[in-house]
Each structure stands twice: as C-alpha cells, then as structure tokens.
C-alpha cells in the first residue's frame, strides 16, 4: 500500500459529483478527504488555465472530470490538469471519467470518417494519464484503444438495487427490455441480476438520429417493462420505444439510463411521454431543467466511484464491485431504510 493518501482534484464538468466522491471517501478513510485546492478557468479568448495551489509531489492523484457537454472544453480541462500534475511531480495520475465523451465514434461507419474515440484515448495517454476509471463505456472495445490500464465500472448493479426496491411488492411481471439489438448484452446482464425475462426492440434507421421503424421481439403483454440503455441523448428513440411497448400490451414502461446527456428536446419529450419513470445516474451533472422533470430520478454513483478509487490506490480488486452483494454495504445508509433511490 502506498504511504500517501489518495488525492482528488476536479475540473468544472461535474463539481457536485467530485464533492460527493470526496465525502464518501472521507467515510471510507475515517479522515477528512477534500478536493485539492486549484483553479481551472478560462482566459478571455477561451484558453483554459490550470493552477494547483497544493503540493502534489509524489502523490497518487485522481482527476474527476467527465467529458460531457461542452465535450471539447471538458476534454481540454482534463488534459491540461493532467499535464499540470505531471509537471508538478505527481507519482501517478488517474483520470476518473464518469462519462467518456466521443465514445459513440468508436469505429468507421462509412468511408473517410474518423475513429474519434481512438484519437481521444491517444490524447489522454500522451497527456500524462497513467490509468483511467470510467463507467459504462458505449463500446467495451474502447478499453483496447488505451495503452494504459482502464477500469470500466457498470451501472447495472446500482440499477438492480433500485429496481428491486421500486418493484419490491411484486417482481413477477417485470421485464427488462433492450432498446436495440446492440444493447442486448447490457440488458441481459441486468435481467439476470433481478431474475427477469428479456425482450428487445428492434429499430431501423434511415439515417443517423432518425428511426424509421420499430418491432418488439418478445411477449411484453401484461408486463411492466424496464428499458435499459447506456446513453440517452435527445430521447427520441427511447420515447418511441416506450410507445411501441405500450401498444404491444405493456402495463407500464420505465427507463434506466446510465448517462443522461439529455440534449435538445429530451426533457420535453420525456415529461410528455408514456414513461412512468426514468432513472439516470449523476455521471453528467444535472441541469435545473433535468432536476425539475417530474418523471425523472437521479441515482448516485459517488459511493461506487469512491470505493473504486480507494481500491485502485490500495492495489485491491475493482471488479469485486460488479457484484450486487459487494455493492449493498457501500450504499447502505445513503438513504433512510426503505427510501432507496427516492
């Protein structure tokens, strides 16, 4: 075990999550863990400037910075913070990226297009980062884009806890639904955790961002359907899938999404949809509009990230957190008993 304590530093992308992680680590460590005092600001021309006010020589540093909207600014903040820490003789720099932007550009979809996720991984590696901690990468193969260790956490254990609480009265009619064929593995993993059957919504696109048709694969009649996905952007596909499920005989539809990008008309669509509830995590900081949405709830990821950081620092297993049994004690006490996720 390192002789130093892990130190956290945050950019401007999600300060509330960074502070929550620090609070949870204070509980784990039995001592006060605070964010390193630093300033991350912009000059008048938009250039980003970072100054660290504390000594970090020989320290195990963790930068907490999702690369969410504005993706380019937040990515540059991450890179410049990493460079500042490396030049300040930090022993190790780990990038904690709850939401990894550009992950949807993980392959060439047609001629003369980039693989931007690979470019971003190269930038992060060359910027001085020695390890990456993230959650629910859009494509698992992105881990192979890095030449440094990558720990990819999963939100499904958190979702399983929430679902088991929300439907604790009767789980017999709950069915997990994948909104597309590509997300079947994710949906199957959650269905296995909660002991529910699985259905698929097969969608067909004429072009990016537009769905031409949807077909339900599986019998959803008289079931409470739970759509699970990793990213919700404009919510068009999600709301259409909910309509198709209700037309197929579902009694109610809920949605669980790891990363609530929620851009453009997303909130308007969700609030006016047939979705009884939608759950997102706090990997992306919620806007006032998101927080005010009546049928949207936010579940915390800080306990999982805090424990993961402690495990990385101490050289113990991170994959142990993939088990629901291991996660329950971490979330115990976060809410009053019986109030999980409310």
Which pLDDT score is estimated for 335? 41
User: Which residues have a catalytic role annotated?
Assistant: 203
Can you give the pTM of this predicted structure? 0.92
CB 200 within 8 A of CB 293: no
Q: Helix 302-314 and helix 15-29: axis angle, to 10°? A: 60
Which pLDDT score is estimated for 328? 78
Beta bridge partners of 217: 200
Q: What is the pLDDT of residues 41-85, one digit of tens each?
A: 999 999 999 999 999 999 999 999 999 999 999 999 999 999 999
Instruction: Walk along the chain (342 residues) in steps of 10 and give the mean pLDDT of each run.
Output: 77 97 87 92 96 96 97 98 97 98 94 96 97 96 96 94 85 94 93 95 68 84 97 94 96 98 96 96 96 95 95 92 79 52 39
CB 32 within 8 A of CB 108: no
In 3-state terms, what secondary structure has residue 285? coil
Which pLDDT score is estimated for 282? 97
Which pLDDT score is estimated for 337? 46
């Amino acid at each position: 075990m390192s002789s130093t304590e892990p130190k956290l530093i945050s950019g401007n992308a999600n300060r509330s999550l960074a502070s929550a992680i620090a609070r949870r680590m204070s509980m784990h460590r039995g001592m006060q863990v605070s964010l390193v005092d630093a300033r991350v600001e912009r000059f008048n021309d938009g250039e980003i400037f970072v100054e660290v006010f504390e000594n970090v020589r020989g320290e195990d540093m963790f930068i907490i910075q999702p690369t969410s909207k504005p993706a380019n600014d937040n990515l540059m903040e991450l890179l410049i913070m990493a460079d500042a820490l490396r030049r300040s003789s930090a022993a190790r720099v780990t990038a904690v990226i709850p939401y990894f932007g550009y992950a949807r550009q993980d392959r060439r979809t047609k001629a003369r297009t980039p693989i931007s996720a690979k470019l971003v991984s190269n930038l992060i590696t060359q910027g001085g980062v020695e390890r990456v901690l993230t959650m629910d990468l859009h494509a698992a193969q992105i881990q192979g884009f890095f030449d440094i260790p990558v720990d990819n956490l999963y939100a499904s254990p958190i979702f399983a806890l929430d679902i088991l609480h929300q439907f604790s009265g009767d789980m017999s009619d709950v069915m997990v639904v994948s909104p597309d064929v590509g997300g079947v593995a994710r949906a199957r993993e959650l269905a296995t955790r909660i002991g529910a059957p699985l259905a698929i919504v097969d969608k067909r696109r004429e072009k990016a961002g537009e769905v031409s048709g949807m077909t339900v694969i599986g019998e959803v009649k008289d079931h409470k359907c739970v759509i699970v996905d990793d990213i919700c952007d404009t919510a068009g596909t999600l709301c259409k899938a909910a309509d198709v499920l209700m037309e197929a005989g579902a009694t109610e539809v809920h949605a669980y999404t790891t990363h609530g990008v929620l851009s453009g008309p997303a909130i308007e669509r969700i609030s006016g949809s047939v979705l009884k509830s939608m759950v997102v995590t706090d990997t992306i900081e919620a806007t006032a509009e998101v927080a005010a949405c009546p049928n949207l709830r936010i579940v915390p990821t800080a306990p999982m990230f805090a424990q993961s950081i402690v495990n990385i620092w101490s050289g113990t297993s991170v994959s142990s957190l993939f088990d629901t049994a291991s996660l329950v004690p971490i979330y115990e006490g976060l809410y009053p008993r019986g109030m999980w996720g409310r």
